[in-house]
């Protein structure tokens, strides 16, 4: 597929500077681009690549100046978003799978919508409802009384436990487990444990993406809830009864303990740990490997460290920690001086 600069500008509501009839048929990073590539520049850290890139077209915003004369650019308000628009419309992978495979097992009481795909060796349990244009890929299992909305993809080797609810336009990647038992075990006087039945469920709202090998546990009672528009990375653990607000992003290897409530539009970076029964306010940003051990009540804060501190306080603390060896040496020197004076 060939796209002219003029056509791309129309799609992204931008303006062309250079040859509006130059054509591209692929996309690339600005440093790797060839003459038939479309790329973007939104981070000024990479602005030096403008002088050396071979790209056919570069998407930029008005903050990027000093454009080489031989380079065709398209100015638009958000280059990265514009680039994503072009990727989605013209270059995104088009899944060829359709129909119901002969080896799939579908219980008689299940209801499958129009234009669905059920892959090889997939299992659809009793009273499951799957909406129109949704796909359950090979070797995945959707157990009884589960509801899946329209245009949702359950990739291969996913387990969706009973009574789960998954909304429209969701993507659940391979190896994810939705609705597994929460970690509930009560200690007995003899040192053993009794398993606490987990009789709740998981509710995933519309437009959510769940990464591969992520586990979202069912609630002990009530629901574990993933809000509309959330993005959850690979290898994330979300425990029983957790509630996550809309459009929150959680990066890989993060873990949220039971009954915690994460606000809307939060960002949890990789390996963040959140203790149980905590509340985190809306628009909170938490840095990688931070440990959250108490409520964050003020919206819009940035935190890092273990136990967590406001970002600026944590940075000041790190400066002090780096200086501890010098401080120790100074203290020993002063102690020796005092000892000599006393003697």
Neighbouring C-beta atoms of residue 8, cutoff 10 Å: 25
SS3 assignment, position 130: strand
For 231, the 3-state DSSP assignment is strand
Among 117, 173, 240, 308, which one carries the catalytic annotation? 240
Provide the β-strand partners of residue 37: 26
DSSP state of 13: T
How far apart are alpha carbons 99 and 128 in whole angstroms?
17
Is 101 annotated as catalytic?
Answer: no
214: tokens are 């992520």
Query: d(Cα 43, Cα 314) in Å, to the nearest integer?
Result: 26
Three-class secondary structure of residue 334 per DSSP? helix
For residues 192 and 211, the answer to whether their CB atoms sit within 8 Å is: no
Residues in the chain: 343
The answer to whether 282 and 298 are in contact (CB under 8 A) is no
In angstroms, rounded to a whole number, what is the distance separating the alpha carbons of residues 108 and 294?
49
| Tokens describing residue 328 | 């120790």
Other CB atoms within 10 A of residue 217 CB: 25
3-class state of residue 124 by DSSP: strand
Cis link prior to 307 (omega < 30° from 0)? yes
CA 341 to chain centroid: 63
CB 257 within 8 A of CB 236: no
Residue 140, Cβ neighbours under 10 Å: how many? 24
Whether residue 90 contacts residue 109, with contact meaning beta carbons closer than 8 Å, is answered with no
The residue to which tokens 């994503």 are assigned? 84
- Catalytic residue annotation: 240
């Amino acid at each position: 597929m060939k796209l002219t600069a003029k056509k791309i500008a129309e799609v992204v509501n931008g303006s062309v500077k250079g040859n509006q009839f130059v054509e591209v048929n692929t996309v690339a990073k600005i440093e790797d681009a060839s003459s038939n590539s479309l790329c973007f520049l939104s981070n000024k850290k990479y602005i030096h690549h403008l002088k050396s890139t071979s790209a056919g077209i570069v998407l930029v915003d008005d903050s990027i100046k000093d454009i080489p004369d031989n380079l065709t650019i398209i100015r638009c308000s958000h280059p990265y978003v514009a680039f994503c628009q072009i990727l989605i419309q013209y270059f995104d992978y088009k899944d060829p799978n359709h129909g119901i495979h002969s080896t799939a097992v579908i219980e008689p009481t299940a209801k499958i919508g129009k234009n669905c795909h059920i892959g090889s060796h997939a299992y659809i349990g009793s009273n499951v409802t799957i909406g129109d244009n949704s796909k359950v890929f090979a070797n995945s299992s959707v157990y009884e009384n589960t509801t899946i909305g329209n245009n949702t993809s359950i990739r291969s080797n996913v387990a969706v436990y009973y009574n789960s609810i998954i909304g429209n336009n969701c993507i659940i990647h391979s190896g994810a487990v939705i609705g597994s038992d929460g970690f509930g075990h009560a200690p007995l006087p003899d040192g053993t444990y009794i398993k606490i039945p987990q009789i709740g469920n998981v509710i995933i709202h519309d437009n959510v993406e769940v990464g591969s090998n992520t586990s979202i546990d069912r609630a002990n009672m009530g629901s574990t809830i993933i809000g509309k528009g959330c993005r959850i990375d690979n290898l994330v653990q979300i425990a029983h009864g957790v509630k996550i607000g809309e459009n929150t992003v959680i990066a890989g290897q993060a873990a949220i303990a039971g009954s915690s409530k994460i606000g809307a539009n939060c960002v949890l970076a990789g390996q963040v740990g959140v203790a149980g029964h905590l509340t985190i306010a809306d628009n909170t940003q938490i840095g990688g490997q931070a440990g959250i051990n108490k409520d964050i009540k003020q919206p819009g804060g940035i935190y890092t460290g273990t136990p967590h501190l406001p970002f600026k306080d944590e940075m000041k603390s790190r400066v002090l920690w780096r200086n501890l060896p010098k401080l120790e040496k100074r203290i020993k020197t002063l102690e020796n001086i005092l000892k000599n004076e006393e003697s």
